[in-house]
């Protein structure tokens, strides 16, 4: 189990890669050194062999003094005993007479190789011939030997060939070099593996810390941070992780706050309904009193339905499960429709609701959701417009590549300190203004209206802007990607 996870660990694989690359480099380097050494030895041997062959040829050319009775015999050049004394023990030689027969040779001269050597020499008489001796050709074992042919001309027309051979690696340097290279290769790889694994382990420590923290993290300890503060990539990863935790923590806090606020909002009407029914049931009441109680229950019920609908809309938008029927809509047409629908409500509140400049501005959005957005903004305007001539104006236009819709009222305005929180869920500036008990048909004051506006705008790639001046009024502008219809 542990071994399997170790083998799959990034540290192990990183080290393996590192060692593999090092092995390839080292192998290449060792091979280069080895081949270079072979080359050097060969060149040295060739130089030595040429010098020796010249020297021996001179010796062989020197006429041999013989007793007068032997003078008439055909004389082939050959080494005398004292000449042979100078011969290096590693040297192989053979003297060939013109018809190719061997007249003299060293003990270990490989006779089997002679035809091959002669043929190779005949082919290219300028280059020495490299020949690998067979194992049985003691005492040289399997060795590469360099052979050279040197012609020997004598006074009486008679000439012979001296074949001289010398092992390229006379002192067995190459096997020792190979052993040394293999040992260095192996040792370096072992050290590199150990060191590499240690380094990878050190480098991966922060990752392990991050993993452990992430594993142990529960919903309730989102306040934990890694605080690695390293100036490298892992430090960056840890910082990103920390900021993600901060965002998660804020999101969870918002979620908790939202649930608490939603329950609180629902508890109030439920308490009112309970109190009212209990009071009505305490003792027999007059029909008028029952009617009043039922009206109260109905109003609270409406309030709750509205709140639950708003919560549902938000939940659907949040989860991305809202069924959006996208179509090309002209914001000006939509504004006219919504204004017409809300005119009665505005009149009831003594507010003059009108359209201003309505420029054609086409957006790709869902009609129902855009109507919801516009209704919320206009209802707020109607609710808050004040003064001797309260009014709300709706305008549309394009500012390529955007289309916009704007709702302006001459209400009390919003103090600047509230503006950053205006779109937060359940955020209300003045709680006392929100529930108009005397007027059950007054627009809702749950503090969700603007949050919904923002959610809808975001769903269609738009954004909401608010400008407000205390005592003068408020302007809400919603921007969407879009423009004018062609043609």
Interface with ligand ADP (CB under 6 A): 380-381, 384, 409, 411-412, 414, 422, 427-430, 434, 444-451, 474
As measured in angstroms, the least distance from the Cβ of 367 to ligand ADP is 21
Would you list the DSSP string of 250-284? HHHHHHHHHHHHHHHHHHHHHHHHHHHHHHHHHS-
As measured in angstroms, the least distance from the Cβ of 373 to ligand ADP is 11
Written in H, E and C, the secondary structure of 168-204 is CCCCCHHHHHHHHHHHHHHHHHHHHHHHHHHHHHHHH
As measured in angstroms, the least distance from the Cβ of 250 to ligand ADP is 20
As measured in angstroms, the least distance from the Cβ of 447 to ligand ADP is 4
> For ligand ADP, which is the closer residue by CB, 103 or 301?
301
Spatial neighbors of 385 by CB under 8 A, at least 6 apart, are 349, 351, 391, 392, 409, 410, 411, 473
**Residue nearest ligand ADP, Cβ-based:** 449
> For ligand ADP, which is the closer residue by CB, 381 or 482?
381
Query: Is residue 378 packed enough to be buried (19+ CB in 10 Å), middle (13-18) or exposed (0-12)?
Result: buried
As measured in angstroms, the least distance from the Cβ of 13 to ligand ADP is 54
Written in H, E and C, the secondary structure of 290-338 is HHHHHHHHHHHHHHHHHHHHHHHHHHHHHHCCCCCCEEEEEHHHHHHHH
As measured in angstroms, the least distance from the Cβ of 229 to ligand ADP is 41
As measured in angstroms, the least distance from the Cβ of 465 to ligand ADP is 13
Cα(374)–Cα(335) distance, integer angstroms: 7
Q: For residue 132, what are the β-bridge partners?
A: 144
> For ligand ADP, which is the closer residue by CB, 165 or 413?
413
> For ligand ADP, which is the closer residue by CB, 364 or 467?
467
Would you list the DSSP string of 367-429? HHHHHHHHHHHHHHHHHH--SSS-EEEEEEEEETTEEEEEEEE-S----GGGGGGTTSTT--S
> For ligand ADP, which is the closer residue by CB, 35 or 419?
419
CA distances from 383 to 2, 346, 387 (A): 68, 9, 12
Q: Which residue has the tokens 């990539």?
A: 233
As measured in angstroms, the least distance from the Cβ of 411 to ligand ADP is 4
As measured in angstroms, the least distance from the Cβ of 418 to ligand ADP is 7
Residues recorded for the chain: 487
Cα(114)–Cα(120) distance, integer angstroms: 10
Q: Which residue has the tokens 């012979």?
A: 160
> For ligand ADP, which is the closer residue by CB, 384 or 479?
384
Spatial neighbors of 387 by CB under 8 A, at least 6 apart, are 410
Residue 88 in tokens? 């290096």
């Amino acid at each position: 189990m542990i071994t399997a996870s170790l083998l799959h660990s990034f540290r192990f694989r990183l080290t393996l890669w590192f060692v593999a690359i090092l092995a390839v480099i080292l192998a290449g380097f060792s091979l280069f050194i080895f081949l270079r050494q072979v080359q050097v030895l060969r060149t040295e041997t060739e130089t030595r062999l040429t010098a020796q062959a010249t020297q021996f040829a001179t010796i062989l050319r020197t006429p041999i003094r013989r007793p007068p009775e032997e003078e008439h015999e055909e004389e082939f050049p050959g080494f005398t005993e004292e000449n042979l004394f100078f011969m290096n023990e590693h040297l192989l030689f053979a003297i060939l007479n013109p018809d190719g027969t061997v007249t003299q040779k060293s003990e270990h001269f490989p006779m089997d190789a002679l035809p091959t050597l002669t043929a190779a020499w005949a082919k290219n008489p300028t280059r020495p011939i490299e020949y690998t001796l067979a194992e049985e050709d003691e005492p040289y074992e399997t060795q590469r030997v360099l052979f050279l042919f040197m012609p020997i001309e004598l006074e009486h027309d008679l000439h012979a060939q001296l074949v001289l051979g010398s092992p390229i690696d006379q002192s067995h340097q190459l096997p020792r070099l190979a052993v040394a290279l293999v040992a260095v290769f192996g040792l370096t790889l072992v050290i590199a593996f150990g060191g590499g694994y240690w380094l990878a382990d050190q480098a991966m420590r922060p990752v392990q810390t991050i993993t452990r923290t992430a594993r142990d993290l529960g919903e309730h300890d989102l306040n934990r941070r890694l605080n690695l503060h390293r100036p490298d990539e892992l430090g960056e990863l840890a910082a990103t992780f920390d900021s993600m935790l901060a965002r998660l923590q804020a999101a969870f806090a918002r979620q908790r706050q939202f649930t608490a606020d939603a329950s609180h909002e629902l508890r109030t009407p439920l308490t009112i309904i309970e109190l009212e029914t209990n009071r009505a049931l305490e003792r027999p009441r007059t029909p008028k009193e029952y009617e009043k109680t039922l009206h109260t229950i109905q109003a609270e019920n409406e309030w709750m339905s509205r709140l639950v609908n708003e919560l549902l809309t938000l939940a659907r938008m949040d989860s991305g499960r809202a069924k959006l029927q996208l179509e090309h809509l002209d914001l000006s047409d939509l504004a006219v429709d919504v204004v017409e629908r809300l005119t009665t409500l505005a009149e009831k509140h003594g507010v003059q609701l009108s359209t201003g400049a309505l420029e054609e501005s086409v957006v790709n959005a869902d009609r129902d959701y855009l109507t919801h957005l516009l209704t919320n903004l206009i209802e707020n305007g109607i609710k808050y417009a004040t003064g001797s001539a309260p009014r709300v104006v709706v305008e549309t236009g394009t500012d390529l590549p955007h289309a916009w819709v704007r709702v302006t009222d001459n209400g009390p305005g919003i103090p600047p300190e509230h503006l950053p929180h205006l779109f937060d869920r359940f955020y209300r500036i003045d709680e006392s203004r929100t529930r108009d008990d005397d007027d059950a048909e007054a627009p809702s004051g749950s503090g969700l209206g603007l949050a919904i506006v923002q959610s809808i705008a975001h769903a269609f790639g738009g954004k909401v802007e608010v400008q407000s001046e205390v005592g003068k009024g408020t302007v809400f502008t919603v921007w969407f990607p879009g423009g004018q219809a062609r043609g």
